[in-house]
Amino acid sequence: MTSEFQFYRVNELTKILSVSRASIYNWLNKGTFPKPIKISDSVNVWRASDIQKWVNDKEGEDIINE
C-alpha cells in the first residue's frame, strides 16, 4: 500500500511526532500544519504523505515553538 492511501488519526500523530494533541491543534489553528480530512462527524484523518512532506519541510526548524 502506498502512503497515498495511508492515514493517521490525531492519537497516532502525537506518538509519531512526539508532541501533544494540543500542539497539533495549535499548529492547525495557525495554519502551519496540514489540514485533516473529515471522514465522519467525529473522525478526522491526515494523509501520511502530507505529514511526511510537512516533516521534510520542517527539517532544521524549531517546530515546537512555532
Domains of the chain as residue ranges with CATH: 3-58 (1.10.10)
- Cα 53 to chain centroid distance, Å, stands at 10
Supply the pLDDT for residue 11: 97
Could you tell me the three cell numbers for 54? 510537512
pLDDT the model gives residue 62: 61
Which is it for strands 7-8 and 37-38: parallel, antiparallel or unpaired? unpaired
pLDDT of residue 65: 54
Query: Tens-digit pLDDT profile for the chain (66 aa)?
Result: 454 689 999 999 999 999 999 999 999 999 999 999 999 999 999 999 999 999 998 876 665 555
- Is the separation of the CB atoms in 14 and 21 below 8 Å? yes
Q: The whole model's pTM is what?
A: 0.81
What is the rounded CA–CA span in Å between residue 39 and residue 32?
21
Which residue in the block uniquely carries the three cell numbers 488519526? 9
